[in-house]
């Protein structure tokens, strides 16, 4: 662009503003009581599972957002209706075994959402929600002593059930179709080093606090980059693709402080100080304000782990 064009552009823009184009800072956002992030718990027939909702304004009066269910990735919501304390929205299915849209409705009372959704069979399922914590931190963390999670030859330090996993010479192995294995220890803010190896086409995940999945997979499928290796599944895409070939040992170095995450994949920073908005699909719970364990995904494919070391903040 020429210098003349640069200088004229702001003048033309100011001249074109009308009363309808003025900045909106002075206007109240639509429905501020529902806008924000919500940690949900769904009381399904087979047991409780976590979900998550974020609502924000689009223009002066409309509401849009995104939603995470018990599995899969974050899904956009094109329209959210809120009136007289009741919120309502629908989303198309993702990995769910259904052909109709999922519908959610809830009443907001004293900062708590109470509502329902419909199962594929038409059964009404209740859920409750509370505002998600900001997890904002002040200052710079100081780090404690490293904590190794894998024993030399046993599953000590991992909760049961842990079907499908074995340990030999410090290598934790799943041949696939295994349980998602969960550490007995829980953590708040921490640095993590993890080494892993997977065969061609396999898929796993490294869950921070049991809620936020760092994706592990070997795939060139046409999914968004945020669903690929090194991303925070469904939310944050890695800047670079630094994965190695299947069958080679690879490594993540992850720092999580509050909601702020950085990820190095095989020695290259691929996510730098980004905010994780909420839980990812497959999370253990939606209690984001509490410490949580490390969880390794075993139900998607074969995977090996070694040298998992957690360094917690003091």
246: pLDDT strictly greater than 80: yes
Kindly state the tokens that stand for 28.
């109240």
Lowest-pLDDT range, 27-36, 38-47, 228-237, 260-269? 27-36
Q: Which residue has the tokens 């509370």?
A: 130
Q: Which segments of the chain does DSSP mark as H helices, in order?
A: 3-16
**175 DSSP 8-state letter:** -
Alpha carbon distance 303, 161 (integer Å): 17
Over the stretch 140-174, which tens digit does the pLDDT of each residue have?
Answer: 999 999 999 999 999 999 999 999 999 999 999 99
Q: What is the strand order of the sheet 292-296 is part of?
A: 181-187, 292-296, 203-208, 212-217
Please report, rounded to a whole number, the percentage of residues in the chain having pLDDT higher than 70. 90
Separation CA 205–CA 225 (nearest Å): 15
240: CB partners within 8 A, 6+ apart? 265, 268, 270
Whether the predicted model's global pTM rises above the 0.75 cut: yes
pLDDT single digits (tens) 12-50: 333 333 333 433 343 444 568 999 999 999 999 889 999
Distance CA 86, CA 265 (A): 44
């Amino acid at each position: 662009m020429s210098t003349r064009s640069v200088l004229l552009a702001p003048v033309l823009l100011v001249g074109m503003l009308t009363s309808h184009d003025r900045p909106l800072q002075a206007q109240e956002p639509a429905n501020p009581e529902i806008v924000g992030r919500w940690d949900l718990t769904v009381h399904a027939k087979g047991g409780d599972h976590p979900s998550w909702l974020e609502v924000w304004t689009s223009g002066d009066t409309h509401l849009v957002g995104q939603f995470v269910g018990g599995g899969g990735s974050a899904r956009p919501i094109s329209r959210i209706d809120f009136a007289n304390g009741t919120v309502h929205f629908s989303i198309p299915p993702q990995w769910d075994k259904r052909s109709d849209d999922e519908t959610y409705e809830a009443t907001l009372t004293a900062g708590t959402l109470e509502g329902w959704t419909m199962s594929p069979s038409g059964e009404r399922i209740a859920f409750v929600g509370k505002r998600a914590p900001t997890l904002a931190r002040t200052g710079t963390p100081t780090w404690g002593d490293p904590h190794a999670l894998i024993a030399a030859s046993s599953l000590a330090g991992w909760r049961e059930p842990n079907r499908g996993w074995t340990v030999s010479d410090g290598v934790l192995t799943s041949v696939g179709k295994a349980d998602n294995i969960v550490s007995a220890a829980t953590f708040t803010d921490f640095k993590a080093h993890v080494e892993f190896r997977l065969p061609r086409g396999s898929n796993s995940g490294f869950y921070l606090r049991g809620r936020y999945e760092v994706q592990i997979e070997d795939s060139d499928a046409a999914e968004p980059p945020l669903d690929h290796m090194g991303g925070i599944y469904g939310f944050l895409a890695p800047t670079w693709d630094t994965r190695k070939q299947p069958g080679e040992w690879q490594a993540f170095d992850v720092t999580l402080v509050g909601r702020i995450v950085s990820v190095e994949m095989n020695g290259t920073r691929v996510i730098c100080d980004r905010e994780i908005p909420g839980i990812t699909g497959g999370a253990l719970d939606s209690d984001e304000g509490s410490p949580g364990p490390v969880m390794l995904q075993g139900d998607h494919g074969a995977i090996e782990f070694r040298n998992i070391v957690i360094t917690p903040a003091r």
